[in-house]
Amino acid sequence: DAKTTQPPSMDCAEGRAANLPCNHSTISGNEYVYWYRQIHSQGPQYIIHGLKNNETNEMASLIITEDRKSSTLILPHATLRDTAVYYCIVNGATNKLIFGTGTLLAVQP
Amino acid sequence: NAGVTQTPKFQVLKTGQSMTLQCAQDMNHNSMYWYRQDPGMGLRLIYYSASEGTTDKGEVPNGYNVSRLNKREFSLRLESAAPSQTSVYFCASSAISGSSAGNTIYFGEGSWLTVV
């Protein structure tokens, strides 16, 4: 499975959009990009995933570049409850989802 | 609908003791996983089971054994606990086996294990 690179931490003002980047330059054609988040010490929570096209759901939007080597998770109106560690994962046709160290997003009041 | 349930939530072991972490899911998922998370670190995959009757090693399998008892249950056993195994353990499950499409993973709330 392809590796991902994320910044270790980011800040965002409450009410503003949070844009979390992820590099996955070795991604292969059948690998999806997944985003999860972990609030404090709870179990990770699924946010969104995509293959080629941009995706949006009630939680977030996922923008994948045309060459698929990077992506951005967008939380349109960040709240204090969005403070968490965000994990970007790429996965192909296996069940081995490998988590990296993620990005700690701190939403500031 | 409980999702993924792990027991126990907290456990303190002495070095050399054995114990089993239990995990059950009620979503009729094919695949199940065990991860560990050390303080300030990301999750690392210990073992996974793509379907009932199969198990495979993840990133850090040494010191652990697993059993996929049936489709619902996937247990993790520490035969001789060591302080290095002090961690938070997460069980997880996903619906689809062998396909990346829609392979969303659902996690339990974690089991805090301390080995002294």
Residue B103 contacts residue A95 (beta carbons within 8 Å): yes
Q: How many CB atoms lie within 10 A of CB A29?
A: 8
pLDDT greater than 80 at residue A92? no
Q: What is the largest CA-CA distance in chain B?
A: 42
pLDDT at B97 (0 to 100): 57
CB contact under 8 A, B42 and A87: yes
Rounded CA separation B45/A94 (Å): 13
Q: For residue A90, what pLDDT band results from cuts at 50, 70 and 90?
A: confident
Q: For residue A23, what pLDDT band results from cuts at 50, 70 and 90?
A: very high
Q: B54: closest CA among B68, B34, B65, B64? A: B68
pLDDT at B1 (0 to 100): 56
CA distance to B24, B46, B51, B53, B116, per residue, from B78 (Å): 18, 12, 22, 20, 14
Rounded CA separation A86/A103 (Å): 5
Instruction: Tell me the pLDDT tens digit for each residue of B92-108.
Output: 998 875 545 566 889 99
Give the one of A85, A91, A95 whose C-beta lies nearest to B50's C-beta: A95
Rounded CA separation A3/B115 (Å): 32
CB contact under 8 A, A97 and B41: no
* A87 shares contact with chain B (CB less than 8 Å): yes
What value does the mean pLDDT take over residues A10-29?
94
* A101 shares contact with chain B (CB less than 8 Å): yes
